[in-house]
Amino acid sequence: MSTYDEIESTQSPEPTSPPEDAVQILDTDGSLLPGAKRPDLTDEELLEMYEELVLARRFDERATGLQRQGRISTYAPMRGQEGSQVATSFALDAADWLVPTYRDHAAKHAHGRSYESLLQHLAGYREGYAVPDDVNALPEYIPIGTQVPQAMGLAWGFTMQDQHDRAVLCHFGDGATSTGDFHEGLNFAAVYDVPSIFVCNNNQWAISMPFESQTATETIVEKADAYGVEGVRVDGTDPLAVYAVTRAAVQKAKHPAEGERRPTLIESCQYRLGAHSTADDPSAYRDEDDGEDWEDRDPVERLERYLYREEILDDDLADEIADRVEDCLATAIERAEATETDPGRMFEHVYEEPTDRLREQLADLDGLRERHGDEAFEEVGE
Amino acid sequence: MSTAADGLESAGDDAVDQESDVATDTIDLDAYDGPTESLSLVEGVRDGLELELARDDSVVVLGEDVGTNGGVFRATEHLQDEFGPNRVIDTPLAESAIVGSSIGLALSGMRPVAEMQFMGFASPAYDQLVSHAAAMRSRSHGQFTLPMVVRMPYGGGIAAPEHHSESREAALVHEPGLKVVTPSTPTDAKGLIAAAVRDPDPVIVLEPKRLYRAFREDVPEEPYTVPIGEASVRREGEDVSLFTWGASTQPALAVAEDLAAENGIDVEVVDLRSLSPLDIDTIAESVQKTGRAAVVHEAPKTAGVGAEVVATINEEALYYLEAPVTRVTGFDAPVPLSTLEDFYLPQALRIREGVLEAVEA
């Protein structure tokens, strides 16, 4: 019996996307689907999840706006994908490690990163890459799929050091499943049976490449069979279903039943409602109404409706949360934009000890700055 | 009856006979007075690809987002509309398979033009490039050859995220069997693409993304090639030779004009343009004339192609030198994010200092 058979769920009554075989708990109107059970989350935890979702949605909107104003560099929007990101991180314990990509802003925040630090590197300050000591997360991965074998290795290393209470959750997209690193990483994870959860955020698009052209298989999850690991498909716009599925995978990774393998491949079915990035124009390759049916599956609204139905949330509390979110983001943006950096920082953290040549290059640069001033470097000469 | 001598005859347009298909539409670009169109560098790339796709049915373009989307930089815009999805092919996301399958395509008699979306993302294809694309001719003792092109946007200066700004030309130049070219003008972009497609060996075309839309120039409408292996003297000068390529060519030329106007220093700017093979004669002749030299590149200093240029000068023109050759390069550190890029890239100030050091020493 699969771990996931224990999660009571049912199929969507409307055979729209995501596919019917994906685990769901909430209907789009926020009601529990027949036979579905609320995951083991308290009212307080559900409200925390909700606030995290509202924050993610507003961060996405603010970041997109900041990019348009030229205040941050290229940004990868996550609209429609926040629910899965937040819920997967909620399913982790603090000891567990997160291996995120460039789109997983909300997953990072929900596992302890600050939006201030994420905005810092978006604004061009490498200072934002610094992961605090008490947050178990790797820096974001921009090359596609390369993190999969690394995540496996991280989990492998913990088991080698008898740290059996740690699991590693690795994010990637549908495009990544075409890479060799995806295959190699999954195979290693299964062969060495390491405590790992591989979450494919199948948002149906790899820039302009639709899912059906990316792979000849109907699903991502069926690829799990090729590695001998368990696969589960979940409605990625249903935060409670994603939480339940991921939580079960985390528990299994750390405490497998007799004969159970630790790794899980989760296909979280979502839709990239926005562009690949702020540098991308989807009108070049998809119709405006493409993905329209996913608009009704807004993860933020879905959880919100559930919380209203259950009388966990009311208008006053929602307003209070909205105000807190705006304050939080305003402070994060203000602080990120006030970052002070120095050209000398380019030479830091290349090695534990800078090489003689690096010291010499830094000294040369400092000399030029002293003689000519920093403004002189802005003259590109074109 | 076939004789050995027949094999030496040109087979004309027969694309399957790869060795003989190095056809060059040699036009004298300086004397050209035919019809032109105003193109940016990225449009020069696109124009070159379009003409080669039209000229030779064996040419195919493949890569991520090159078809429907027309490329993330629009270098293949509308080519799929014109030539169809079997000639301009959107591939799954897998750089190793894009280059590996291109090797297979070339072995079958096709002429693939693969796109790596950014040089920073090409690393998964490195094994295919260096172990196989570079070596197929030699390891088959000439039986199998690879007329294929791999295009890669490279370099910094566009305020891009991590992994979008690298200049890793040195690693590719170091591989026997690969040719490496990098256009710095729309005219060269079009002509080098054509030359690369028609070349019997694998050619890497490094496209300086900072120059993709930096300026336009009048480019001949008709097909032509810019020969691989020849540098271009962008500005003749008597006092000092400035060797560079790609995006650095623009600030180098600006500095040369400034130094002429303000300091009376006559800088010769040589756009190497073909990094492998390197145009040794042009390098040697320039330094033999000026007696002084500086090299500019965006890539880190240590073991950059600049070191090869300096070594070449030592071998070919050491006794003409009146001062040590200076290098103005990226630092031996990763390319920084946007806030510090101006300090990392060799812009006007550092180039001017480097040239003055070579002149005043």
Contact B349 A121 (CB under 8 A): no
Cβ–Cβ < 8 Å for B212, B42: yes
A298 and A213 fall within a common domain: yes
Query: How many Cα atoms occupy the beta-carbon half-sphere of A106 within 13 Å?
Result: 29
CA-derived radius of gyration, chain A: 22
DSSP secondary-structure letter at B297? Answer: E
Distance, C-alpha A71 to centroid of its chain: 23
* CATH number for the domain formed by residue range(s) B32-220: 3.40.50.970
Provide the CATH number for the domain around residue A325: 3.40.50.970
Report the pLDDT averaged over residues A303-321. Answer: 98
pLDDT value at A248 more than 90? yes
Nearest CA-CA distance, residue A162 and chain B, Å: 33
In A268-307, the residues whose Cβ lies within 8 Å of chain B are: 279-280, 284-285
A231 and A216 fall within a common domain: yes
A43 and A69 fall within a common domain: yes
A276 classed as catalytic: yes
State the pLDDT at residue A10. Answer: 47
State the pLDDT at residue A4. Answer: 59
A244 and A362 fall within a common domain: no
A97 and A201 fall within a common domain: yes
Number of domains within chain A: 2
Report the pLDDT averaged over residues A326-343. Answer: 97
CB-based contact, B93 to chain A, within 8 Å: yes
CA distance A337 to A81: 26
- For A365, the domain range is 343-378
Q: What is the mean pLDDT of chain A?
A: 94
Q: Give the tens place of pLDDT for each residue, B6-59.
A: 433 333 344 444 444 445 567 888 889 999 999 999 999 999 999 999 999 999
Nearest CA in chain B to A340: B339
Contact B69 A378 (CB under 8 A): no
Predicted ipTM of the assembly: 0.90
A197 and A179 fall within a common domain: yes
A191 and A266 fall within a common domain: yes
Cβ–Cβ < 8 Å for B181, B193: no
**Is domain B232-360 given the CATH code 3.90.15.10 in the classification?**
no
State the pLDDT at residue A293. Answer: 87
State the pLDDT at residue A18. Answer: 61
Cβ–Cβ < 8 Å for A91, A107: no
Nearest CA in chain A to B95: A179
What does the domain layout of chain B look like in residue ranges? 32-220, 232-360
Nearest CA in chain A to B348: A381
A359 and A241 fall within a common domain: no
Around Cβ B69, how many Cβ atoms within 10 Å? 23
A130 and A262 fall within a common domain: yes
State the pLDDT at residue A5. Answer: 53
Nearest CA-CA distance, residue A191 and chain B, Å: 23
A81 and A203 fall within a common domain: yes
Cβ–Cβ < 8 Å for B233, B261: no
Q: Which member of B78, B164, B174, B297 is catalytic?
A: B164
State the pLDDT at residue B20. Answer: 41
pTM here is: 0.92
State the pLDDT at residue A378. Answer: 86
Domains B32-220 and B232-360 agree in fold: yes
Percent of all residues in chain A with a pLDDT value above 90, rounded to a whole number = 91
Around Cβ A34, how many Cβ atoms within 10 Å? 10
A61 and A126 fall within a common domain: yes
CB-based contact, B351 to chain A, within 8 Å: yes
Cβ–Cβ < 8 Å for A346, A127: no
Q: Give the tens place of pLDDT for each residue, A162-198.
A: 999 999 999 999 999 999 999 999 999 999 999 999 9
A348 and A332 fall within a common domain: no
State the pLDDT at residue B361. Answer: 83
Low-confidence ranges of chain B (pLDDT < 50): 1-22
Q: Which residues of A touch B68 (CB under 8 A)?
A: 208, 284-285
State the pLDDT at residue A13. Answer: 37
CB-based contact, B34 to chain A, within 8 Å: no
CB-based contact, B200 to chain A, within 8 Å: no
Q: How far is CA B313 from CA A122, A144, B272, B295, B318, in A?
A: 43, 41, 14, 11, 6
Q: Give the tens place of pLDDT for each residue, B64-82.
A: 999 999 999 999 999 999 9
State the pLDDT at residue A288. Answer: 87
CB-based contact, A382 to chain B, within 8 Å: yes
A183 classed as catalytic: no
State the pLDDT at residue A319. Answer: 98
Q: Give the tens place of pLDDT for each residue, A32-79.
A: 999 999 999 999 999 999 999 999 999 999 999 999 999 999 999 999
